[in-house]
Structure 1
C-alpha cells in the first residue's frame, strides 16, 4: 500500500495569520508534515508520496517521493488515484496529532473504504482498498460526498471516529490542541511560540512574543 499527502507550503494556513507571520506559518506546516510522515513510517508505511505543486529541497531528508501536479486538490488526487493499483491512504498534512497506532488500525480495516471526518464536514483521512474508479470530492461537505461515493460504488464503509485525527490545524484555537495533546516537531514549535492560559470555560492560547 501507499500513502499520499497533499501539501502546499507557500503562504499556507492564512487563517493562522492573526498569530503567525507568513514565514512562521510556512515553517509550521512543514513541521506538521514531518510529524505526519514520522507517524506513517512508525506505522510501517514505507511508500509515501507528497502530492504538491513544487518540490521542496528542505524535505529531501524525509525519504519520500514527490508527485508534482499544478492542478487543484480534487483534480490532482483523482489523477493520482487513476495511476495506482494498490491500497491508498490519503492523509492531510495538517494532522500533527496523528499516532502510528491509529494509522495501523485504519490500514488493517476489513472495509473497502475508511473515512476519518474532520471538523465542519471535511475529510481528514481517506483509506481506499481499491482506488480504481473512486473519485474524491473535497471541499463543500466532503465527508458526506465521500460517504455517498462509497455507497454508490457498493463499497463497505467504516467511519473512524478519532478526536486526534479529526483535529486539523486551521485556526489559532486549534494550536491549543497541539499544546495539550501534541508531540514531535510541531509541538516543540508551538511551545516556543505560545503558552496556555486557563479560562473559565476553555483553555486559551497566549503568544509568548
Structure 2
C-alpha cells in the first residue's frame, strides 16, 4: 500500500513571507485551501491507499479530517522529526511505500500523483522518486520502502535526498513537474500559480477573492 503524507505547520506560523500582502485571516484560509486541494488530488489517485496529514495544530487536524484525510497530531521538534514519527505509524499499519507531498503545492493533480507512483513502480521494490521545487527544495518524495531514505526536507533538500540515495545505492528517479515546482511561499509564487493551469480550485477561489478586494 502506498500511503501519502502531507505536513502542515501551525496556522499562525504558515506562509509568513506572504504576510505583507495578505491579512492573517486570509493567510489561514489560504493554508487550509491549499491543503484541501492537495488532499483532493491525492484521494483522487487510485494508487494511494491512505492520505494522512501530520501537524501539531488541532485546527489543521480538524480541517484535514473534514477533507477526508487522516490527521496525525504530533509535537515533534521540526519538520523531519514529525515526518519520521508519522512514517513509523503508517509503516506499522501496512504502508509499503510513502509519498510525502508538501501542503503548499495546490497545483498537484491526480495525474501528477499517478506519474510519481508509476515511476516508483518502475524502480522495483526499493527506490526513491523525487520531484524538486524550483527553489531547490523537495516538493514530493516517494520512498519504497518508507524508510529507504531519511527525511531531509527543508531548504536545498533535493540535493540532500539525491546525495543520500547515491551514497546508499538506492535506485533513484527525479521527475520534473511544473505544477509541483511552485510552492506558494512568496508573492511571485502566487502569480506563477495563478498564471498556470486551472488545478487547485479552492486555492484559486481564496486568491481570487484577494485579487478582487485589492482591485476594489
What's the TM-score once normalised by structure 1's chain length? 0.88
Partner of 1:175: 190
Q: Which has the higher contact order (CA 8 A, sep 6+)?
A: 2
Partner of 2:215: 208
Of 71, 94, 113, 1:103 maps to: 113
Of 101, 119, 122, 1:91 maps to: 101
Q: Which secondary structure does the structure 2 equivalent of 1:18 belong to?
A: coil
Higher mean alpha-carbon deviation, 18-27 vs 50-59, is at 50-59
Contact 2:11 2:31 in 1 (8 A): no
Partner of 1:200: none
Within 1, Cα distance between the matches of 2:18 and 2:31?
A: 11
Q: Where do 1:151-190 residues align within 5 Å?
A: 151-181=166-196, 182-183=198-199, 184-190=201-207
Once the two structures are TM-superposed, the CA of residue 55 in structure 1 deviates from its matched residue by: 2.9
Ranges in structure 1 where 5+ consecutive residues have no aligned partner: 196-205
Kindly indicate whether residue 64 of structure 2 is the aligned counterpart of residue 63 of structure 1: no
**CA deviation map 1:106-131 (0-9, x unaligned):** 01211211101112210010001112
Q: Give the aligned length.
A: 199
What's the TM-score once normalised by structure 2's chain length? 0.86
Q: CA RMSD of the aligned region, Å?
A: 1.7
Q: Which secondary structure does the structure 1 equivalent of 2:58 belong to?
A: coil
Q: Which secondary structure does the structure 1 equivalent of 2:209 belong to?
A: helix
Partner of 1:33: 35
Ranges in structure 2 where 5+ consecutive residues have no aligned partner: none
Q: Where do 1:12-161 residues align within 5 Å?
A: 12-44=14-46, 45-56=48-59, 57-71=62-76, 72-83=78-89, 84=91, 85-109=95-119, 110-111=122-123, 112-161=127-176
Higher mean alpha-carbon deviation, 135-144 vs 176-185, is at 176-185
Compared with structure 1, are the counterparts of its residues 172 and 140 closer, same or farther at alpha carbon in structure 2 (3 Å cutoff)?
Answer: closer
Compared with structure 1, are the counterparts of its residues 207 and 106 closer, same or farther at alpha carbon in structure 2 (3 Å cutoff)?
Answer: same
Q: Which secondary structure does the structure 2 equivalent of 1:207 belong to?
A: helix
Q: Which has the higher helix share?
A: 2
